[in-house]
Amino acid sequence: MGPTPESCSELLRPLRSLMGLKQVAAQMLNQHSKTDLPYAATGLLAELVHCGESRASELAQHRIVDASVVSRQVSQLEQAGLITRRPDPQDRRVVLLRATPEGEQALADIERRRAEWLSHALRDWDEDQVRELAGLLNTCAADIRRAVLPDGATDHRTDRTTDEQAGTTPEPPGQKGTR
């Protein structure tokens, strides 16, 4: 049957709060991670590291942003030597993007520092609470993604690192992505 609008109303309040804290937390995490990369470019690098080689158009579709946004982030990452591009062997007009070994190491360092910061912020939580929340957020994000994306445009990959840390493997609803 699913939740009632009333119970979902209760969910909207903490979601709004988290969304409001996102920018502040992103700035703090970048400072704590000691990186000059913009937060969004770091997210794109994470996607390439965790999900593998991709076309820019696939990244834009999955991140639900315009291709120009991805193009700008790709340029930043490429200038920093954290990603490379190569022609797609199946369609030489298209390029495939992939993280370099330096990009993989930079992301590992950033994610380790972010996890340390978050561990401090959640110091009063126990491990089970953190793992449960990670699993619930992954499932929630997948369900919302399925609801907002048009049929056939869904891509239900999740951040494998988050799933592995949470000890969960969310079931991907619907059809698989193209990557």
Is 103 in contact with 83 (CB distance < 8 Å)? yes
pLDDT tens column, 17-63 = 888 887 777 777 767 666 677 777 888 999 999 999 999 999 998 88
- The backbone torsions φ and ψ at residue 173, rounded to the nearest 5 degrees and listed phi first, read -75, 150
Q: What is the pLDDT of residues 147-170, one digit of tens each?
A: 888 664 544 344 333 333 333 333
- Contact residues for 6 (Cβ-Cβ < 8 A; gap 6+): none
In 3D space, the residue among 26, 165, 35, 28 whose CA is nearest the CA of residue 106 turns out to be 35
CATH class of 20-119: mainly alpha
The pTM assigned to this predicted structure is 0.72
Where do the structural domains in the chain lie, given as residue ranges? 20-119, 125-171
Question: How confident is the model over 42-51, as pLDDT tens digits?
Answer: 889 999 999 9
